[in-house]
Amino acid sequence: MIGVFDSGLGGLSVLAAIARALPRADLVYLADTAHLPYGDKDDTYIRRRVLTIGNHLVDQGCGVIVVACNTATVAAVAAFREAFPNLPVVGVEPGVKPAAAMSRSRRIAVLATESTTRSERLADLIRQHAGNVEVTVEACPGWATRVETLCLDEPDFVEEARRHLTPLLAGGVDQIVLGCTHYSFLCPVLEPIVAKRATLVDVADAVARQCVRLAGADALGQGRLTLLATANPERLQAALPVLGLHWLGSRLHSPARLMVA
């Protein structure tokens, strides 16, 4: 069984990629909705949540854990790996490396939560993989929460997204890294603004490939999906069709459940 978690709906973009790559794997998705957003919390808080959720998923029998959240990965994946040294753990980090490699203009941007944008781990990623590229890092407060409301294309948000992206595009940025898993669901709003002048870089498929490499026997189950949330599990399940993931719903064998932690 593979356990995948995020603060809320964002990690469903990663879950979908994993479910496509490993159709027979049994998957557990846990949304920490009682504690979202993570993006405005400090590292100590996020680390505590990640360890609590990790413990729960391991107790449920997960043999591989996917931290489907950039904010949780940069803040806590090292602590998590230390706590579970024998467990394969896959984190999600902003796709700085592929963006830098693909950029022709040598200008890229990273959109992420406040917590991720100020993290030392992101600064390290940029130093390691984008040394010869100009990188603009932009915090997008409120964007993950916008996804949670499922009201994605309201005019005020389209305007806000335009305010963020227009100066980047005018400055020659040709790769825009979606450094928060929630932002994948904003592509229908972001793509028309970008209008082919830049590529939106999402690492969900790369994360799924890493799961394929690590899954071993956990790849071979009955293709079942279990949904858990620390608040409002019914909203998590109801979000699937709204986010274009109705096909994942057919893997559910019981209604989404509350997890108290």
Binding positions are 6-7, 38-39, 70-71, 181-182
**182 contributes a contact to ligand DGL by CB under 6 A:** yes
Which C-beta is closer to ligand DGL: that of 93 or that of 174? 93
Q: Of 129, 72, 118, whose CA–CA distance to 96 is shortest?
A: 129
Residue 6 binds ligand DGL (CB under 6 A): yes
Closest CB to ligand DGL among 42 and 59?
A: 42
- Would you count residue 119 as binding ligand DGL (CB under 6 A)? no
Instruction: Spell out where 13-172 has E strands.
Output: 27-31, 64-67, 89-91, 107-112, 134-139
Handedness of CA 146, 152, 156, 159 (dihedral sign): positive
CA 146/CA 185 separation, integer angstroms: 10
Minimum CB–partner distance for residue 170 and ligand DGL (Å) = 26
Number of amino acids touching ligand DGL (CB under 6 A): 16
Q: Minimum Å distance from CB 202 to ligand DGL? A: 11
Q: Among 126, 130, 144, 215, which residue interacts with ligand DGL (rule: CB under 6 A)?
A: 144
Among candidate residues 62, 69, 140, 211, the one labeled active-site is 69
Q: Tell me which residue has its CB nearest to ligand DGL.
A: 39
Active site residue 69: yes
Query: For residues 57 and 49, what is the distance between their CA atoms, to the nearest angstrom?
Result: 12
Residue selected from 12, 16, 135, 180 as contacting ligand DGL according to rule CB under 6 A? 180
Q: Say if CB 5 and CB 69 are below 8 A apart.
A: yes
Q: Within positions 192 to 251, which residues make up the interface with ligand DGL, using CB under 6 A? A: none
Q: Find the helix packing angle between 43-59 and 70-83, rounded to 10°.
A: 60
CA distance 239 to 151: 11
Please report whether residue 94 would count as binding ligand DGL according to CB under 6 A: no
SS3 213: helix
Q: Is residue 37 within the footprint of ligand DGL (CB under 6 A)?
A: yes
Looking at residue 120, its amino acid is E
In the complex with ligand DGL, which residue's Cβ is closer, 206 or 221?
206
Complex with ligand DGL: residue 103 or 181, whichever CB lies closer: 181
Three-point CA angle 223, 225, 231, nearest 5°:
170
Residues 98 and 256: their CA atoms lie apart, in Å, by 35
Residues making contact with ligand DGL (CB under 6 A): 6-7, 10, 36-39, 69-71, 113, 116, 144, 180-182
Task: List active site positions.
Answer: 69, 180
